[in-house]
Amino acid sequence: MSDTTTAWVVIVAGGVGTFLTRASFLFVAHRFTELPARVREGLRMIPPAVLAALTVPAILRPGGGAIDLVDARLVAGLLALAIAWRTKNLLLTTAVGLAVVTLLEQLS
């Protein structure tokens, strides 16, 4: 078998495998009309966990370097955390965090 044929076989097999994996959830979704409360609560926690997993490393160690306690990102992140905790408003938290990090980076 030539390299081109092998590549196409791998691409098609990967596409079919991906389709079947995703479609399998659609074929059985009608059986799960009501999820248990623990499952629903767990699913509700996924977006905040993903957001934290993406933002905390970027705030604490930007570029993989050492932790800098006077870094603009850390100060803005801590302020945004306080606003999020106090107001529970995602738009306000994001706006204040972006404004503070922009202002502090311009001043330094």
| Whether residue 61 is found in the same domain as residue 107 | yes
| Whether residue 53 is found in the same domain as residue 102 | yes
Residues of the chain by 3-state class (helix, strand, coil), percent to 5: 80, 0, 20
- 33 by DSSP, 3-state: which? coil
The mean-pLDDT minimum among 23-27, 30-34, 77-81, 96-100 falls in 30-34
Residue-wise over 14-36: b if at least 16 C-beta within 10 A, else e?
eeeeeeeeeeeeeeeeeeeeeee
What is 64-88 written as a DSSP string?
G----TT-HHHHHHHHHHHHHHHH-
Of the pLDDT bands very low, low, confident and very high (cuts 50, 70, 90), residue 12 is very high
| Whether residue 19 is found in the same domain as residue 53 | no
Structural tokens at position 10:
């791998």
* 84 is a domain residue: yes
* 106 is a domain residue: yes
Put simply, whether the predicted model's pTM sits higher than 0.85 gets the answer: no
Q: What is the mean pLDDT of residues 46-54?
A: 89
Of the pLDDT bands very low, low, confident and very high (cuts 50, 70, 90), residue 55 is confident
* 39 is a domain residue: no
Give the residue numbers spanning the domain of 83.
44-108
| Whether residue 52 is found in the same domain as residue 20 | no
Specify the pLDDT at position 93. 92
| Whether residue 50 is found in the same domain as residue 87 | yes
Of the pLDDT bands very low, low, confident and very high (cuts 50, 70, 90), residue 48 is confident
| Whether residue 48 is found in the same domain as residue 29 | no
| Whether residue 22 is found in the same domain as residue 56 | no
Of the pLDDT bands very low, low, confident and very high (cuts 50, 70, 90), residue 82 is very high
Query: In degrees rounded to 5, what are phi and psi of residue 6?
Result: -60, -45
| Whether residue 56 is found in the same domain as residue 100 | yes
- For the chain, the straight-line distance linking the first and the last C-alpha, in angstroms and rounded, comes to 61
Of the pLDDT bands very low, low, confident and very high (cuts 50, 70, 90), residue 38 is very high
Q: How many domains does the chain have?
A: 2
